[in-house]
Structure 1
Amino acid sequence: MEHWLDSHERAGQNDRRRGRGRRRHHFYRRVLAARRARSGCALATLLKRRFDATGEGRLWLGADGSTYGSLGTSEADLQVEEHLPEVLVCERGLVCALDPSAKLGETAEVFIEPFLPEPVLYVFGGGHVGGQICALAKNVGFRVVLIDDRPTFANPERHPQADECLVAGMEEVFADLPIDDQSYIIAATRGHQHDEIVVEAAIKTPARYIGMLGSERKKLILWRRIAERGGDSQRLDAVFAPIGFNIGADTPAEIAVSVVAELIEQRRGTPKVWKTKRKTHGG
């Protein structure tokens, strides 16, 4: 998406040199600004109408409720604004027919295209499975940050696909991570104690997805201990454990496929439907 936005930025620069496209440039500049601020937005474009409406035929909508431009009438703009939450959650473009009350004719259609910050995956644990998850997640569009308290397991030579490798304590590092609602966290450390630390710290963040590698038995033990220390039970219930789809995965690469498939489902599909009891590989 960054390359796509950059191309529009260059096109806008060419248009300005020719004295055209100044307003179009403002739309894509707002998209870029929102993305860099890690805030969601959408661009609505009028595709089909019975007659020419006044205005640009394009509307920028920010996740904070701000807007820029117009589809031609305030009624049309309000109708499109109602679709914004759905588009941002599903991260999919939407073509919708406007109601005649939009005053753009009975055949008016609008394409609403979402733009969200690059999703960031924080993988705690640089072992075989964690490394395979990093490599595959990078290939499907995640920015990947690998974290381990052992220098030999958190370095670019061992994990060249990771955008960043951090050598840090599993708990202390959370204070320095810019975790937001486009962040995904996976606990795949070398032992129960470290996974417990990661999950307990992760449920205090606004991360969109939190998952732990391992077995159902391991989850029950750790969840009970975290709850006894006052961990948010509702947030804890939303943690994916065991992570990954049940595809009979055995090798680290196969396990990574099952895990990253789940990440994609949560990013593209139904991120608010938590699935905490799926049977998968042991840990």
Structure 2
Amino acid sequence: MLDIAEELHRWVEQGRDVAVATVVAVGGSAPRPPGAALAVDAGGTVIGSVSGGCVEGAVYELCRQSLQDGRAVVERFGHSDDDALAAGLTCGGVIDVLIMPVRADHPARPAVAAALAAAARGEATALARIVSGPAELTGRALAVRPDGSPAGGFGAHPALDRTVAAEACAFLDAGRTGTLEIGTEGSRCGAPLTLLIESSVPAPRMIVFGAIDFASALARVGRFLGHHVTVCDARPVFATRERFPDADEVVVEWPHAYLERTDVDARTVLCVLTHDTKFDVPLLEIALRLPVAYVGAMGSRRTHLERDRRLREAGLTDRELARLRSPIGLDLGARTPEETALSIAAEIVAARRGGSGVPLRGARTPIHHEDPPLPAGGTGTRPVTAA
């Protein structure tokens, strides 16, 4: 549910009773990943999506029922060849959905409210909810901050709280959402448990070096894709808020000096559009040695060869140079700044998701990367050894 945290947090702050449907696990080709959520308030207002439209009507009715009876349930939806009118996924996949009430009197409300508030502020947080286990625990929740401090809990089971908090921190460190299976011994409550752990982490950074018209278009696309966008250039006359209204921040500084002092991580993407050796060579010397997700540099093929030569002279290895995506972007035949920004963004997405960049028409690769098949009659789980 953390994918709709901003709006859902407002609902909870307003004291509304809500029911939330969350994708727990997927099998085959499914349109939304684990953690995708749809919420319904007592007045029937809806936000979010669990399937892109395929089963929303059936999920809506289940949420309304959950609001009335206060029960949490797990429902499976899949493609139905026998009944074309049955609620199912036309893409052929299977999803398990947890529907739970978050009424004012529900024991999970404090943990859910804490996680939603943190996610809405852009802070890192994890939310663990019991999907299957003892009836008195189903639907209970625990929110965990990066330092491991919890909010909420599983009632009279402090040992279970500690176990789940430790596992949730591991999910949060990886920025991952998925299921956690804890055996009877590890659960400390006398029965095996399956939990859904959602992670919400701050937006990944996109740092665009070079205050040019292509950078302005890329800042718009980067923000649209959910990045925190920084534009950096050493020239104050070009690096202005007026020229880059879609950037979260504009920095006037030599690019390599800024990259040396700023924070980056394994999700950060670096786009070097400076197109000037006095900027991009010292910048790329640093960038290609950082543990970031993507490094791309603009320029013609001749520019790339000259840049490659200078970087080798600076001491970069073949392995380091192999990380450089240059010329930057996919071959879309782009001409305008907007088209070029689209080609760069497409390459970033392909690198992140493992896509090939070839047209889907005629391709033999799956549209959605498949997860392991779900076990018969239950939620999909990936066993994790509990502490």
Same fold (TM over 0.5): yes
**In structure 2, what is the Cα distance between the partners aligned to 1:159 and 1:184?**
18
Counterpart residue number, 2:135: 51
Match of 2:262 among 177, 180, 192: 177
**SS of residue paired to 1:151:** coil
**In structure 1, what is the Cα distance between the partners aligned to 2:215 and 2:295?**
14
**In structure 1, what is the Cα distance between the partners aligned to 2:195 and 2:213?**
47
Match of 2:316 among 231, 236, 256: 231
Shift of the 44–124 alpha-carbon distance from structure 1 to 2, 3 Å rule, reads same
Match of 1:162 among 222, 239, 247: 247
Q: In structure 1, what residue type is equivalent to 2:311?
A: I
Find out whether 1:208 has 2:293 as its counterpart.
Answer: yes
**SS of residue paired to 2:255:** coil
Structure 2 residues without counterparts, runs of 5 or longer = 17-103, 359-387
**SS of residue paired to 1:52:** coil
Q: CA deviation at 1:260?
A: 1.1
Q: CA deviation at 1:256?
A: 0.8
**SS of residue paired to 2:259:** helix
Question: How big is each residue's C-alpha offset from its partner over 1:195-238, in whole Å with a ceiling of 9 and x where there is no partner?
Answer: 22221132344433222123455444323432332336544432
Structure 1 residues without counterparts, runs of 5 or longer = none
**In structure 1, what is the Cα distance between the partners aligned to 2:349 and 2:165?**
26
Counterpart residue number, 1:11: 12
Q: In structure 2, what residue type is equivalent to 1:231?
A: L
**SS of residue paired to 2:207:** strand
Q: CA deviation at 1:190?
A: 3.3
Counterpart residue number, 1:148: 233
More strand by share: 2
Answer with 180-189 or 254-263: which moved more: 180-189
Shift of the 30–165 alpha-carbon distance from structure 1 to 2, 3 Å rule, reads closer
Find out whether 1:248 has 2:249 as its counterpart.
Answer: no
Match of 1:42 among 88, 105, 126: 126
Give identity over the alignment, percent.
Answer: 24
Matches within 5 A, 1:1-283: 4-5=5-6, 8=9, 11=12, 21-22=109-110, 24-28=112-116, 35-36=122-123, 40-53=124-137, 57-61=140-144, 66=148, 68=150, 89=174, 93-95=177-179, 102=187, 108-231=193-316, 234-267=319-352, 269-270=353-354
**SS of residue paired to 1:174:** helix
Shift of the 31–160 alpha-carbon distance from structure 1 to 2, 3 Å rule, reads closer
Q: CA deviation at 1:2?
A: 9.4
Q: CA deviation at 1:46?
A: 1.3
Question: How big is each residue's C-alpha offset from its partner over 1:47-79, in whole Å with a ceiling of 9 and x where there is no partner?
Answer: 23353239x832445667x36365668679868
Equivalent pair of 1:49/1:104 in contact (CA under 8 Å)? no
Question: How big is each residue's C-alpha offset from its partner over 1:165-209, in whole Å with a ceiling of 9 and x where there is no partner?
Answer: 223222333344333444321101132442222211323444332
Q: In structure 1, what residue type is equivalent to 2:240?
A: N
Shift of the 23–190 alpha-carbon distance from structure 1 to 2, 3 Å rule, reads closer
More helix by share: 1
**SS of residue paired to 1:160:** coil
**In structure 2, what is the Cα distance between the partners aligned to 1:4 and 1:27?**
8
Question: How big is each residue's C-alpha offset from its partner over 1:143-165, in whole Å with a ceiling of 9 and x where there is no partner?
Answer: 21112223342112222212222
**SS of residue paired to 1:43:** strand
Q: In structure 1, what residue type is equivalent to 2:274?
A: T
Aligned residues: 263
**In structure 1, what is the Cα distance between the partners aligned to 2:347 and 2:168?**
25
Equivalent pair of 1:186/1:212 in contact (CA under 8 Å)? yes
Q: In structure 1, what residue type is equivalent to 2:215?
A: G
Q: In structure 2, what residue type is equivalent to 1:53?
A: L
Equivalent pair of 2:218/2:341 in contact (CA under 8 Å)? yes
**In structure 2, what is the Cα distance between the partners aligned to 1:236 and 1:172?**
20
Shift of the 98–233 alpha-carbon distance from structure 1 to 2, 3 Å rule, reads same
**In structure 2, what is the Cα distance between the partners aligned to 1:75 and 1:45?**
12
**In structure 2, what is the Cα distance between the partners aligned to 1:125 and 1:223?**
19
Equivalent pair of 2:146/2:172 in contact (CA under 8 Å)? no
Q: In structure 2, what residue type is equivalent to 1:155?
A: T
Answer with 44-53 or 116-125: which moved more: 44-53
